[in-house]
Amino acid sequence: MRRLALFAALLLAPLMARAQPVLNIYNWTDYIDPYVVQRFQQETGIRIRYDVYDSLETLEGKLSAGRSGYDLIVPTSEPTFARLVRAGALLPLDRTKLPNWRNLDPALMERVAKVDPGNAHGAIYLWGTVGLGIRLDKVRALAPDLALDGLDVLLKPENARRLAGCGLAVMDSAADVVPSILRWLGRDPDSGDAGDLRAAEAALLAIRPQLRAIPGSGALLNMLATGEICVALTYSGDVIQAAARAREAGRGVEIGYVVSKTGPHQFFDMLAIPADAPNPAAAHAFIDFLLRPEIIAAVSSHVRYPNAVPASRFLIAEPVREDPAAFPPEALLAQAFVPGTPGPAAERLRSRLWSRFRAGR
């Protein structure tokens, strides 16, 4: 009988696997705690298929083709999430399936409601800022008199020339870089004016000869952690992750993070469901799971980005919650800006600008 039972189980296993519900997630590289994924699967019996991207352009390209096959995506509030909302490409969330929605910070959710009225299509997953990751020991050795307190470290051509020998990089994301450049120049970060964008392009091209790479954020994180580069314009959490990896490696790589003195670019990454998602019920279940304070605290502790669930704050690992790079002071956040979504004409100008910058001409 035992042999018959075993034989029957072996025959049924492939059928059971096919019948098991699947949640298809498309998220940023290094942007989840693997334990959280494992725990959700164990609690619900829903199997997760997890794919990653490292730029908003990659995400938008995948979704623009239609029938992406994903149930849950993590677009940044502006421009990608805003464009998807306007295009009708996202499924309105069913709040009756999200009892943990009440855990979200109303003030932060109001920040994204301007592109998603009533917060109908998304919940904040994590948020952060854009700034410079700096390998402090290398930069101090090359330029001991250089003030490491803002984007001048990279964006002033004379500084870039001094530091080029230890490796400079800018992440490959026009949506996240151009607004910061415009703000640094004293221009409107949302500007679509051709003159403003020419000024931004000139600023980028002025440092282009000194750049070692223009990589995706995942590759840039690794380059910073290993000491291959010493200054990188990128996301706050990626710098904090790189610093943690460098400390663990014990090779003396010391990494710091600074933001613009004129106010940092702040972003919000959203949990959203494509309109043609194969399994929206599973996506709702995962969103609700992530909004539990202890679950989202585990995510923040692992990836070192803050979240929008206030009750999770003191559940986050102390080195993360006490790190001003992860949780900036209120005075700094008061100066922060959240970029708007460029119109079609401005978007074309920015796309051409970025192509020329990447090509170096």
User: Can you give the residue ranges of every domain in the chain?
Assistant: 2-127+267-327, 128-265+338-359
Structure tokens at 330: 């209120």
Between β-strands 123-135 and 72-73, what pairing exists: parallel, antiparallel or unpaired? unpaired
Kindly tell me the burial class for residue 135, based on how many C-beta atoms sit within 10 Å of its own C-beta (0-12, 13-18, 19 or more): buried
Q: What parts of the chain have a pLDDT lower than 70?
A: 1-19
Residue 187 to residue 197: CA distance in whole angstroms: 9
pLDDT of 7 reads 40
In CATH terms, the superfamily for domain 128-265+338-359 is Periplasmic binding protein-like II (3.40.190.10)
- Give me the torsion for CA of 218, 26, 311, 81, rounded to 10°: 90
Burial, 330: exposed, middle or buried (Cβ in 10 Å; 0-12, 13-18, 19+)?
Answer: exposed
The pLDDT assigned to 2 comes to 37
Instruction: Look up residue 147 and give its two tokens.
Output: 């003030």
User: In this predicted structure, what is the pLDDT of residue 19?
Assistant: 64
pLDDT at 193: 93
Domain 2-127+267-327 top-level CATH class: alpha beta
SS3 267: strand
pTM: 0.84
User: Cα separations (Å) of 213 from 119, 230, 261, 309, 351?
Assistant: 37, 12, 25, 36, 19
Q: Who contacts 13 (Cβ-Cβ below 8 Å, separation ≥6)?
A: none
196 neighbors 95 (Cβ within 8 angstroms): no
Q: Do domains 2-127+267-327 and 128-265+338-359 have the same CATH topology?
A: yes
Residue whose C-alpha is closest to residue 230's, from 238, 240, 220: 220
In the beta sheet, which residues pair with residue 232?
A: 133, 169
